[in-house]
């Protein structure tokens, strides 16, 4: 009897299989060869028969060339950091696809000359926050703070309250980021209380700017005092405010969350924010401020290293002018509708119950806000099975049950969610 290992088909023979040839065209030869090599290895190890190598390779083909997979977020955490923060709206996704090709991002089709990069997105941002004298977009909010520190405080001091020296997540600390630019942090006040005179006493010829940071991911209660933007604006130093979440105007569901328009009206010279938290757009750092400050930031040599890609500009513009984002829809979803959806799903599934639950804003934002919600409760064992499915569904485990919170699931995804759960029963 011949050694089955010698009957394992060769790579070129497998690549000639029409299914694998088509996959090589769509996904690339390198990726398909990796999949083929795995299948051949399994045949050599005796896990599969040599005759089935092609079938196994076909079954193991990924559906796309990139390894990132679409996931149904049923965690109830609206801006889920580990699931990529804000999911883009359909309009923003379409804009990204269009901008993926050659596009007039920096070109004027009428004159044939170079044009201002991302002018459509910048104009949309300026229209969304008319109080701002100028706007600028960088890679993320961390980059916005970096650019502000490099431009306004290199070799100088940034005056900040001890209560606002915060760590955002994954070990990222705002004071360390600022110091990396060569600026010095001048801490004022105490952890729980900082007064206007603490700031006033620290301001001098070495001051680059005063920084107010929204402590987005925690909440101090009790004997506390912070100084308002209005008061800080009266001091004799530029005032930079990091609002974090990216709301452009006040939000009815999140009354304590700061927004760019209110911060500027209160007297901030520069406001920084993220694009992919509550704004519901792509990862970006948004800067709003006086025209001359924004111009100085734009002209800093490092601005080029922090600039955003055309895909980001496209998604940002579509987020700003397009229909309500998935984040906005999740925040404002009506509880009665959520309960009805939960009921409808639960009646179609053997082990499921419709339950009330509590969703959260997430993304390090509004930690004290809870959003009443509804979902489907399943036995705990479903959690792992659902994550392993296609599409993967991520729920949360609560008191020994797997709860799928519908506030973060688009109603249009209910049918796919139902199929995904049914496959696990």
Ligand X SMILES: *Cc1c(COP(=O)(O)O)cnc(C)c1O
For residue 277, the minimal CB distance to ligand X (Å) is 6
Give whichever of 213 and 355 is closer to ligand X, judged by the CB atom.
Answer: 213
Binding characters for ligand X, 234-263, by CB under 6 A (x = yes): --------x-x-------------------
Q: Could you tell me which residues are beta bridge partners of residue 353?
A: 377
* Cβ pair 214, 243 in contact under 8 A: yes
| Span near ligand X by CB under 6 A; candidates 208-216, 247-255, 318-326, 417-425 | 208-216
Counting contacts by CB under 6 A, is residue 140 touching ligand X? yes
Give the gyration radius of the chain's Cα atoms.
26
Question: SS3 letters for 273-314?
Answer: EECCCCCCCCCCEEEEECHHHHHHHHHCCCHHHHCCCHHHHH
Give whichever of 285 and 375 is closer to ligand X, judged by the CB atom.
Answer: 285
Q: What is the DSSP-derived secondary structure letter of residue 6?
A: G
Among 15, 32, 142, 233, binds ligand X (CB under 6 A): 142
Among 36, 121, 159, 213, binds ligand X (CB under 6 A): 213
Counting contacts by CB under 6 A, is residue 168 touching ligand X? yes
Counting contacts by CB under 6 A, is residue 406 touching ligand X? no
Counting contacts by CB under 6 A, is residue 181 touching ligand X? no
For residue 253, the minimal CB distance to ligand X (Å) is 18
| Span near ligand X by CB under 6 A; candidates 95-103, 138-146, 193-201, 398-406 | 138-146
Give whichever of 242 and 405 is closer to ligand X, judged by the CB atom.
Answer: 242
Closest listed residue to residue 245, CA positions, set 122, 369, 374: 369
Give whichever of 89 and 216 is closer to ligand X, judged by the CB atom.
Answer: 216
For residue 161, the minimal CB distance to ligand X (Å) is 13
Q: Count the site residues for ligand X by CB under 6 A.
A: 12
For residue 248, the minimal CB distance to ligand X (Å) is 15
CB-count exposure of residue 133 (10 Å: 0-12, 13-18, 19+): middle
Counting contacts by CB under 6 A, is residue 274 touching ligand X? yes
Angle (CA) 200 206 210, round 5°: 50
Give whichever of 31 and 366 is closer to ligand X, judged by the CB atom.
Answer: 366
The contacts of residue 269 (CB under 8 Å, 6+ apart) are: 209, 233, 238, 239, 240, 289, 290, 293
Among 136, 186, 214, 339, binds ligand X (CB under 6 A): 214
Q: How far apart are CA 120 and CA 380, in angstroms?
A: 48
Taking the CB of residue 58, how many other CB atoms lie within 10 A of it? 18
For residue 245, the minimal CB distance to ligand X (Å) is 6
Counting contacts by CB under 6 A, is residue 76 touching ligand X? no
Closest listed residue to residue 125, CA positions, set 114, 138, 113, 111: 138
Counting contacts by CB under 6 A, is residue 373 touching ligand X? no
| Span near ligand X by CB under 6 A; candidates 44-52, 123-131, 140-148, 315-323 | 140-148
Closest listed residue to residue 210, CA positions, set 191, 192, 189: 189
Q: How far apart are CA 288 and CA 247, in angstroms?
A: 12
Counting contacts by CB under 6 A, is residue 319 touching ligand X? no
Among 120, 282, 364, 395, binds ligand X (CB under 6 A): 364
- Cα distances (Å, whole numbers) of residue 63 to 58, 68, 88, 340, 409: 11, 10, 21, 34, 22
For residue 218, the minimal CB distance to ligand X (Å) is 11
Two structure tokens written together for 280: 């519901």
Hey, what's the torsion of the CAs at 263, 265, 269, 272, to 10 degrees? 30
Site residues for ligand X per CB under 6 A: 140-142, 168, 213-214, 216, 242, 244, 274, 285, 364
């Amino acid at each position: 009897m011949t050694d089955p290992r010698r009957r394992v088909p060769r790579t070129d023979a497998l690549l000639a299989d029409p299914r694998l040839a088509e996959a090589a065209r769509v996904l690339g030869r390198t990726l398909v060869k990796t999949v083929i090599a795995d299948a051949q290895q399994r045949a050599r190890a005796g896990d599969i028969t040599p005759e089935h190598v092609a079938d196994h390779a076909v079954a193991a083909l990924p559906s796309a060339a990139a390894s990132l997979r679409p996931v149904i977020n049923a965690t109830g955490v609206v801006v889920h950091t580990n699931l990529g923060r804000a999911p883009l709206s359909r309009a923003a996704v379409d804009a990204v696809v269009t901008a993926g090709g050659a596009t007039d991002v920096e070109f004027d089709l009428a004159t044939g000359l170079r044009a201002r990069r991302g002018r459509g997105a910048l104009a949309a941002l300026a229209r969304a926050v008319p109080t701002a004298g100028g706007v600028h977009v960088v890679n993320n909010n961390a980059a916005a703070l970096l650019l502000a520190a490099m431009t306004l405080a290199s070799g100088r001091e940034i005056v900040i309250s001890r209560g606002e020296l915060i760590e955002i997540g994954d070990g990222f600390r705002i004071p360390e980021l600022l110091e990396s630019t060569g600026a010095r942090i001048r801490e004022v006040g105490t952890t729980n209380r900082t007064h206007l005179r603490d700031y006033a006493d620290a301001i001098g010829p070495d001051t680059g700017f005063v920084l107010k940071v929204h402590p987005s991911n925690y909440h101090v209660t009790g004997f506390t005092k912070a100084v308002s933007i209005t008061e800080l604006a009266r001091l004799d130093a530029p005032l930079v405010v990091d609002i974090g979440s990216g709301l452009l105007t006040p939000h009815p569901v999140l009354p304590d969350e700061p927004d760019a328009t209110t911060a500027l009206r209160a007297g901030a010279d520069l406001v920084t924010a993220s694009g992919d938290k509550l704004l519901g757009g792509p990862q970006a750092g948004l800067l709003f401020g006086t025209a001359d400050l924004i111009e100085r930031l734009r002209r800093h040599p490092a601005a080029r290293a922090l600039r955003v890609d055309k895909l980001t500009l496209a998604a940002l513009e579509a987020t700003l002018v397009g229909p309500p984002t998935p984040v906005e829809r999740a925040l404002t979803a009506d509880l009665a509708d959520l309960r009805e959806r939960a009921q409808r799903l639960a009646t179609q599934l053997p082990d499921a119950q419709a339950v009330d639950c509590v969703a959260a804003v997430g993304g390090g934002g509004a930690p004290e806000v809870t959003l009443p919600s509804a979902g489907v409760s399943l036995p705990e064992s479903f959690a792992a099975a659902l994550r392993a499915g296609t599409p993967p569904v991520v729920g949360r485990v609560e008191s020994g049950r797997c709860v799928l919170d519908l506030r973060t699931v688009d109603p249009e995804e209910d049918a796919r969610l139902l199929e995904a759960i049914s496959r696990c029963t």
